[in-house]
Amino acid sequence: MRALALMYHDVVPRGRPEASGFAGPSADHYKLDREVFRAQLDALAASAPRPVVARVDEADFAARPWPVFLTFDDGGVSAHEPIASWLEERGWRGHFFVTTDWIGKPGFLDAGRVRDLHARGHVIGSHSCSHPTRMSSCEPVQLLREWRDSAARLAEIVGEPVRVASVPGGYYSRTVAETAAEAGIRFLFTSEPTPVPQSVGGCLVLGRYVVARGTSTADVVGLATGSATPRLRQAAVWTVKKAAKTVGGPVYVTIGRLLRRRRRPEPPR
């Protein structure tokens, strides 16, 4: 069983990172200019072999080539426009993971837009309620509340159970997956760059390859078509970051904040 998932965040007008999603240098690192994102979609559509862009809840994991999942974290308003429309032009659907405590706040999706994305065939999933700073350090009771309450809020909006989620901030642990499974999540996306899913408590845990500001279009195409070079490069960087997060704990987060000039509080990445 293999799958390739790309992890995006917001798509914004050039020079206006505050237009969608969380604010601050850390969040801005993951925001793409509209022109860049559109060029990446064009390149994906033109690539050979063309990626099989799929919904995770409908994917045939035994099929070849590997299914590709396009995912978008946080629930910024750019999910609705332009991202969803540009995906639909190509017959694709995205996975939009919403931080439910931020629904309706400036720069974020409101309930009507979440409902509309679902009606248009996109996957709506949980990105937790509050986007905890270090999710893997939360107590199980808090983790269960983050997953259960956010899924319930989204289910109320879209009119059906929400079974898909992504882990905020890259802080994953087995307990994070176990509590997601307990909350009814059946597909959980992490930030670990791996094409090999694993099952935890009946929940299929899938890795993702990050697309950030500065990721080349060639690398995006390579990641989506299974090229080894960009995947191995991301895996090497991830291993170093994972070790730093494990050893440093809250110090890792604090140092990252001190190294940036922040405009207002934001979830760490």
pLDDT string in tens for the chain (269-residue length): 789 999 999 999 999 999 999 999 999 999 999 999 999 999 999 997 778 899 999 998 887 678 999 999 999 999 999 999 999 999 999 999 999 999 999 999 999 999 999 999 999 999 999 999 899 999 999 999 999 999 999 999 999 999 999 999 989 999 999 999 999 999 999 999 999 999 999 999 999 999 999 999 999 999 999 899 999 999 999 988 877 666 555 544 443 444 334 433 445 44
Q: Which two tokens stand for residue 124?
A: 């709506």
pTM over 0.85: yes
Q: What is the largest CA-CA distance in the chain?
A: 46
* 171 contacts 267 by C-beta, under 8 angstroms: no
To 10 degrees, the CA torsion angle through 135, 16, 19, 101?
Answer: 20
228: Cβ contacts below 8 Å, ≥ 6 apart: none
Integer Cα distance of 250 and 134 in angstroms: 8
* Structure letter (DSSP) for residue 100: G
Rounded to 5 degrees, φ, ψ at 134 are: -135, 90
The radius of gyration of the chain's CA atoms, rounded to the nearest angstrom, is 17
Pairing of strands 164-166, 95-98: unpaired
